[in-house]
Chain A
Amino acid sequence: MYRRILVGLDGSEGSRRALDCALDLAELTGAALHALSVEEHLPAFAGTVGEVQDAQRFANQYFRGIHEEAAALAARRGRALTHEIVPGHVAQTLMRVAREGGFDLIILGHAGHSALAHLFLGSTADRVVEHAQCAVLIVR
C-alpha cells in the first residue's frame, strides 16, 4: 500500500475534500502525509523587485493560513502533516516534488477555485494524471 502521500492544497473546497480523503487513506495505510502549495502567480514581466516580493509575501501569508487549518485538522485526527510552499508552475512543481520526495500517491481536488488564483484547475489535474510517475487520485 501507499507509504508517502502528497496532497495539493490551494484553499479551495476541492482541495479540502482532497485533504479529507488523504487523511482517510493515511489512517488506513499508515502512510506519511505531506501537503504542498504552489505559488504560481508572481507578477509576470515585473517592473520592480518590490512588486514581486510583495506578491510573494501575500501568497505566503495566504498559504500559511491554509496550512495552519490543515495541520489543525490533521492533529484532531491524530495524524502528522508536514507542509511546504514552493514557487513555480503548479503541475510541474507537484510532479517534481512527488518525484524528488519519493511519493507514491498524489491527491488533488477536482476543479478548485481559490481566491488567489485558479491553482489546481482541471487542466492541472489532467496534466498531473498524464505525466506523474506515481499514482494520482482526483477527489470530486
Chain B
Amino acid sequence: MESNIWLIAAAWMALAFLASLISIRVGVSVALIEILIGIAAGNFLHLHSTQWIDFLATFGSGLLTFLAGAEIEPDALRRHVKPALIIGAASFLLPFLLAFGFAFWVGGWDLHAAQIAGIALSTTSVAVVYATMVETGLNRTEIGKLILAACFVTDFGTVLALGIIFANFNAWLLLFVAVSAVVLWYLPRLTRLLIARVGHRVSEPEVKFVFLVLFLLGGLAKVAQSEAVLPAYLVGLVIAGVFVRDRILMDRMRAIAFTMLTPFYFIKAGLYVSLPAVASGALMIAALLVVKMVAKVLGVWPLTRVFRFDRREGMYTTLLMATGLTFGTISALFGLTNHLISQAQYTVLVTTVIGSAVVPTLIAQRFFEPRAPARADAGMAVPAD
C-alpha cells in the first residue's frame, strides 16, 4: 500500500467523495467537512501524507487563494475604496496584534509561533460572509458590496503578512518583487489577448497560462523564503476583471480546483489536528476564539458607526468579519510545514479557526440579522405567461 500510488489516491479520493456526499446531505460547506474528515482519518485511520499529495495540497491552497482574489468585484472595490480600506485594514491589524500578543505573552508561544497565530486569526472568511449575505439579500445592496470589499482587504493583509514576515530580505526577495510587479502589470492585458486569440479550446491554453504564472511566481516566492499564496492572491486580484466577464474560465478553474486539488488540501489540513491536543488545548482554543472576536469588535465596530451603518448592521458586519476558515488554515499549515509551530499549536489554531467559521456566524444570524433585507433585489419576479 505504501508504494502503490493508485491505492493511496483511491483512499484520499474516497474520503473526498464521502465529504461531498455528507456536505450535500447536511448542507454544510464541503471544505469544512473535508477538514473534519481529515481530522477523523488522521486520528483514527492514521492516514498520512506523501510527497505528491503535499504537492497537490500546496497547489490546491494556491489555487484557492488565486480564486479568492479573482472573486472580487473590482467596480465595488473602486466605489467603496476608502471605507473598505479602513475597515478591512482595521479588521486585519487589531486581531493580528491581539492574537499575536495573547499567544506570545499569555500562551508563552515563541515569536514565530505567535506571529503565525496572529496571521491565522486575523483572517475573514469572504465565503462565509458572502453566503450569509446571499441568504439575507444583502449581497446585492451597496452596504453588502462594501462589506465584501472590506473582507478582501483583510485577506490581502493576511497574505501580505504571510508573504513578508518570514521572508529573507535579500536579493532574491528583490528579484521576486520586481518580476511580480512586471508580470502583474501586464497580466490582465496578456490574459485578455490570449482568450481573444486562442481561448476556450479543448487544450485550454488560458488555464495553462494562469497555472504557468502561478507556478513561476510561487517558485520565486519560495526562493525568497516568502509564501506562494501572496503572488497567487495578487494574480487573482489583477485578473478579477477578466474573470468577471468570462464565467466559463472561472467555472473551469473552479472545477479543476474542487475536483482534484482542494480536497487534498483540506483533508491534509485536518490530518495534522490531534484530538488529544484539542482536549489539552481546549482553554487556549476558547481563549483565542474570544480574543479574535473581541479584536474584530474593537477594530471593526467603531468604524461601522463612523461610516454610518446602523447599530444592528454594524454588529452584524463586525461578527461576519470575525469569521474565518480557508486563509486561517492556510496560515496554520504554512507554520507547521515550515516548522514555525508545533503540531499541538497547529491543532489549537485550526480548531480555533473552525470555531471562528461557526460561532460568529450563528451569533450574527440569531441576534443581529438586519431587518427588512432588500427583497426586490434578492429574487426574480417574472410573469408566468
Contacts and interface: CB of A to CB of B under 8 A. Distances in A.
Interface of A: 35, 41-52, 54, 56, 67, 70-71, 74-75, 80-89, 96-97, 100, 117
Contact of A50 (B71, B134, B383): B71
Contacts of B375: 86, 96-97, 100
A46 B27 contact: no
Given A48-B68, A49-B67, 18 more contacts: A41-B27, A43-B27, A43-B131, A44-B27, A47-B29, A48-B127, A49-B127, A50-B258, A51-B30, A71-B384, A71-B385, A75-B385, A80-B385, A81-B384, A83-B384, A87-B137, A87-B378, A117-B27
A107 B125 CA distance: 38
Contact of B136 (A47, A51, A52, A88): A88
Interface of B: 23, 27-32, 64, 67-68, 71, 125-128, 130-131, 134-137, 250, 254, 257-258, 262, 266, 323, 325-326, 357-358, 361, 373, 375, 378-385
Contact of A45 (B68, B262, B357, B384): B357
Contacts of A43: 23, 27-30, 131
Best-surrounded residue of A46, A54, A84, A87 (most CB of chain B within 10 A): A46
Contacts, number: 123
Contact of B28 (A45, A48, A71, A86): A45
A77 B31 CA distance: 47
B254 A46 contact: no
A74 B127 CA distance: 39
Contacts of B130: 46, 49, 52
Contacts of A70: 384
Nearest to A68: B384
A52 B382 contact: no
A41 B131 CA distance: 10
16 contacts: A44-B27, A45-B357, A45-B361, A46-B127, A47-B64, A48-B127, A48-B258, A49-B68, A49-B130, A51-B258, A52-B127, A56-B134, A75-B385, A84-B379, A84-B382, A87-B378
Given A45-B357, A87-B135, A50 B380 contact: no
Contacts of B27: 41-44, 117
A47 B380 contact: no
A71 B383 CA distance: 9
Nearest to B31: A47
A47 B127 contact: yes
Contacts of B31: 46-48, 51
Given A83-B384, A86-B375, A87-B378, A49 B126 contact: yes
A82 B382 CA distance: 6
A46 B128 contact: yes
A51 B127 contact: yes
Instruction: Please provide the 3 A-B residue pairs with the shortest distance between their CB atoms, ordered closest to farther.
Output: A47-B31, A71-B384, A81-B384
Contact of A88 (B23, B137, B361, B382): B137
B385 A88 contact: no
B29 A44 contact: yes
A47 B134 contact: no
A64 to B, nearest CB: 9
B325 A47 contact: yes
A52 B134 contact: yes
Given A49-B68, A49-B130, A51-B30, A82 B135 contact: no
Contacts of A80: 383-385
Contacts of B266: 47
A75 B180 CA distance: 59
Nearest to A86: B379
